[in-house]
Amino acid sequence: MPAIQSSSSDLALLARLIRAEAEGDGQLGMLMVGNVGVNRVLGNCLDFKGIRSIPQMVFQSPGGFEATQKGYFYQAARSQDKRLARRVINGERFHPASNALWFFQPPGNCPAQWYDQWNTGRFKAHCFFSPAQSVCPNVY
């Protein structure tokens, strides 16, 4: 059973997002960004209360993804991007993004906390941050 419900257009939208946000970090980095997106739909907590679908998550503003807000969300989803999106929609999780709701690319080391969320690790350019389980139990 999938972690979240999705249509074929939702799958393509998530695939475009993970490509735009993390293509330079390879497949594993793209899967981790997909984890963050799926967690935002599952979470219904903090900045993501009421986000219940992939389109709502992708286009959330403010608080959404840089790709959709800064104009580099324009490439079509390729078949390999869709395969990656399908994996995270189906519930596969990849550390350090397993329970993360945020990621960003700092100029240096990852901070221990970012907006009161703990760093769960870094993969290539991105640092990942997860809420406490007591605050957002749906992402655990």
Q: What separation in angstroms does the CA of 121 have from each of 16, 39, 108? A: 24, 16, 14
Q: Which domains can be identified in the chain, with CATH numbers?
A: 8-139 (1.10.10.2520)
- Kindly report, residue by residue over 38-70, the tens digit of the pLDDT: 999 999 999 999 999 999 999 998 888 989 988
Dist. CA 46–CA 95, nearest whole Å? 21
pLDDT tens series, the chain, 140 aa:
789 999 999 999 999 999 999 999 999 999 999 999 999 999 999 999 999 999 999 999 888 898 998 878 889 999 999 999 999 999 999 999 999 999 999 999 999 999 899 999 999 989 999 999 999 999 99
Beta strands in 3-137 (DSSP E): 102-104, 113-114, 117-123, 126-130
- pTM for this prediction: 0.96
Single-letter amino acid code for the residue at 74: Y
Single-letter amino acid code for the residue at 18: I
